[in-house]
Structure 1
Amino acid sequence: MKKILLLILLTSYSIFSFSQENIVVAIKIRGVKKTKTSEIKKIIETKENVVLDSLVLKNDIIRLKRLPAISHAYFQFFRSYENKYNVFINVEENFTIIPEVNFWTTTNRKFAYKIGLNDYNFLGRNIAFGGFYQNNGFDSYGINFRAPTLFSRKWGIALHHQNWVSEEPLYFDNQTANYKYQNISYEALALYQINFKHQLQFGINFFKEKYDYLSGATSPTIPQKLNVNKRLLKLVYTYDKLDYYYQYINGFKSQFYGQYVTSENEYQDDFLIFWNDFFYYKRIGEKGNWANRLRIGLASNDNTPFAPFALDNNVNLRGVGILVDRGTGSVVWNTEYRHTLYEKNWLVIQGNAFVDAGTWRNPGGSFSDFIDGKNARVYSGVGLRFISKKIFNAVFRIDYGYGLTKNASRGFVFGIGQYF
């Protein structure tokens, strides 16, 4: 009888105890220097005077680690009194004022450079603001403003202006011509976070494109001078389940880009373009990271030298060269294994081995172009990464790509940030 009574008392106590929901009485942010505490509290879903939920807290930590300003974060909670708890969010900040300095030679052997400055945590409020100046024989500049939480935790805005000028190769009738290309654009996007995993960007871009013939082949069907105003409607949808631990990434991400471009000229009709990037990352042991990107893209299949998908060193295949070809469709798979060779304090050195493979649809071609061996390219190679754990996106990379397909090129590719 005593055992039964004791069991009843214990059951009653357990029911009473668990019926009392644990409440967050205070949220304390530790480790911030530049970032405003109010901004972090706005971004996270955990709030004061609501039920304590460890799953929500875990998602909040992942959300914070995705921010340029935060290199690492973790949470703790301690009982204050009765069922009331204090939540502590501990953060390690990145240095986010990043200069940009690049030097290279152009296709006509001219010396070129690009300088810029960007703050990815402007005013400590999760705002990216900056610009650049470039000279590659022509003057270019750009100004960018992006505030994903400007209006609330869910709503923000992005504004961009760019005046870009470069010498671009165009391909037609198995011939090549070089044009001076200028793009003057003004873009406004609304940014909306549906929930923890889903985000939207949508808006409009007004731009002017100019093409002026410089050298190479000519054709009566291809203009030597073109000046046209265009409008671009843009939609970006992101599904993000990535988790970050300093230089390591784990999880899956999908990013869809859709654009509809309207113009009024006889050489370029209105066209639709979309592509989707699928990313998959997996931690392997303590020091390894397997990284993958699959890009599938299609555009209106006009037979034009102005096709939107480029075959390029810095975009899809390392070692292929600069603007080697263009197409109206693209399937590219990049895969690499990254391994930490050295790590101490703020510095990380990674080695990597990669394979980049892609195939294109020719302008005006058919879907069979994707399986035509003449349109396929495969490159393999190795590289190094020098990474700062305290500066946002401070990854200096160098890769050497070697072509495995017929008549392929080879070469080094330098850049800032991981390739993907």
Structure 2
Amino acid sequence: MAYKNLLFFLFFCFATSFYGQKEFIADVKIQGAEKTRIAFIKSILTTKKGNVLDSLSLEKDIVLLKRLPAISHAYYQVFHSHENAYNVFINIEENFTLIPEVNIWTTTNNVFSYKLGVYDYNFLGRNITFGGYYQFNGFDSYAINFKAENLLSKKWGLAVNHQNWKSEEPLYFGDKTANYLYNNVSFEVLALYQINLEHQIDFGVNLFSEKYSYISGATDPSIPQNLDLNKALLKFVYLYNTLDYYYQYVNGFKSQLFVQYVVTENDFQNDFFIAWNDFFYYKRLGEKGNWANRLRFGLSSNAETPFAPFALDNNVNLRGVGILVDRGTGSFVFNSEYRHTIFDKKWLAIQSNVFTDFGSWRNPGGKLNDFFQNKNLKLYSGVGLRFISKKIYNATFRIDYGFSLLNRKNGSKGGLVFGIGQYF
């Protein structure tokens, strides 16, 4: 018995000594926050007053903060307070997040078009995105968007979106093309759940109506000239994210899976399923280089219809291919580019880039081997520039010129592509 008591006493002394030497957080102080509420920042941090000082938790908190639209950069400092207690200082550099949106262009029919909007990506200082836009492209469109990732708690959020979109779009059936007025009116509600720093899921429902009205081009007895559809879309998104940001540089891996099931009641279209996954890989090369890659693979229900969901488009997948060139029920796209910073000051960075975009499609009603058919293979390469504001969220103006390396006799040989934000 004396032997057991001695062992217990020694264990007690060791445990007391071990835990007594642990370093604790006396206080967490946030510096540099002007618009972002300090109470909000503290609510999403794992590092809290009274917790054991943990450098791994601090590093994860810094990664989390740098992913927020409101914060362009963040770092921490630790200072001794008293005995085994320490003060943690988290320093942040804020982005300007009230962003106007102004676009001007002409359509294929030489209609003067414009888009005017404004979005606040840090509404009320709580990482809430709120705003909307009005667009005129010969037709009137508008949207209102609300997204609060931490509205209900650190893990639970909510997104609500409403859109009334109108545009003239080409539809393809066989070798024929027709232009239709497309009108989509939708109401969407999504629940947002952050499992942890790396994993997040979004799920919800989108109730929408679609109207197609014939404008010009070829006609076919099997293709209606007017179509009015009411639909419900069930949406699920899974995000795995290990990206780490340092101003304009990105490092790490991200995977984003989108799954949608559309329920409709009409004689022309059946219920259909669509899913695609985007894989992103970024690697910092030296002090000024960044290698960026995106791989997308998607499939949908394989109906033989001109209303197929995957579009071949300049602004989405292949730079230089043209606007809404084709549609398909399957998509495979690989984008790779090297970005090199050629100018870098406190508020502005300029990057040059060299890129290659490759893609292939499954034709509506086709087979999986459509992906390997020469006529469906597209390969573009080119160069571009990025003008990046380091103090305004997502304020990257990009210009790329892509030229075709395959099928130069069929389709676009190349062209300029402009946009806001990195291409991916």
Secondary structure of 1:32's counterpart equals coil
Secondary structure of 1:269's counterpart equals coil
Secondary structure of 2:386's counterpart equals strand
The answer for the alignment partner of 1:209 in structure 2 is 210
CA distance in 2, matches of 1:405, 1:54: 51
CA distance in 2, matches of 1:42, 1:236: 25
TM-score scaled by structure 2?
A: 0.95
1:418 to 397, 418, 422: 422
What displacement does 1:108 show? 2.1
Tell me if structure 2 keeps the 8 A contact 1:27–1:87. yes
The share of aligned pairs that are identical, in percent, is: 67
Amino acid at match of 2:361: W
CA distance in 2, matches of 1:17, 1:192: 37
Tell me if structure 2 keeps the 8 A contact 1:321–1:409. no
Secondary structure of 2:203's counterpart equals strand
What displacement does 1:122 show? 0.4
Amino acid at match of 1:212: S
- Residue pairs, 1:215-254, within 5 angstroms: 215-254=216-255
Deviations 1:376-411 (A, max 9, x none): 100000000000000000000000010111124211
Mean Cα deviation higher: 81-90 or 137-146: 81-90
Deviations 1:306-328 (A, max 9, x none): 00000000000000000000000
What displacement does 1:111 show? 1.7
CA distance in 2, matches of 1:238, 1:367: 27
- Residue pairs, 1:142-161, within 5 angstroms: 142-161=143-162
Secondary structure of 2:65's counterpart equals helix
The answer for the alignment partner of 1:168 in structure 2 is 169
What displacement does 1:28 show? 0.4
The answer for the alignment partner of 1:133 in structure 2 is 134
Secondary structure of 1:419's counterpart equals coil
CA distance in 2, matches of 1:189, 1:162: 15
- Residue pairs, 1:49-128, within 5 angstroms: 49-128=50-129
The answer for the alignment partner of 1:181 in structure 2 is 182
What displacement does 1:19 show? 4.8
The answer for the alignment partner of 1:25 in structure 2 is 26
Q: For structure 1, which runs of at least 5 residues remain unmatched after alignment?
A: 1-11
What displacement does 1:115 show? 0.9
CA distance in 1, matches of 2:43, 2:149: 12
What displacement does 1:14 show? 12
CA distance in 1, matches of 2:301, 2:109: 31
The answer for the alignment partner of 1:6 in structure 2 is none
CA distance in 1, matches of 2:102, 2:269: 35
Tell me if structure 2 keeps the 8 A contact 1:75–1:90. yes
What displacement does 1:259 show? 0.3
CA distance in 2, matches of 1:190, 1:44: 21
Amino acid at match of 1:259: Q
The answer for the alignment partner of 1:356 in structure 2 is 357
CA distance in 1, matches of 2:138, 2:344: 40
TM-score scaled by structure 1?
A: 0.96
The answer for the alignment partner of 1:281 in structure 2 is 282
What displacement does 1:177 show? 0.3
Amino acid at match of 2:288: K
Deviations 1:55-91 (A, max 9, x none): 0110000000000000000011112111111111000
What displacement does 1:21 show? 2.0
CA distance in 2, matches of 1:13, 1:279: 48
Amino acid at match of 1:72: H
Deviations 1:133-180 (A, max 9, x none): 000000000000000001111000000000000001000021000000
The answer for the alignment partner of 2:344 in structure 1 is 343
Amino acid at match of 1:415: G
CA distance in 1, matches of 2:402, 2:16: 64
CA distance in 2, matches of 1:75, 1:143: 37
What displacement does 1:20 show? 2.6
Moved over 4 A (4+): 12-15
CA distance in 2, matches of 1:353, 1:14: 58
Tell me if structure 2 keeps the 8 A contact 1:319–1:379. yes
Q: Give the CA RMSD over aligned residues.
A: 1.3
Deviations 1:36-65 (A, max 9, x none): 001100111111111111101100000000
What displacement does 1:267 show? 1.6
CA distance in 2, matches of 1:329, 1:15: 63
What displacement does 1:107 show? 2.4
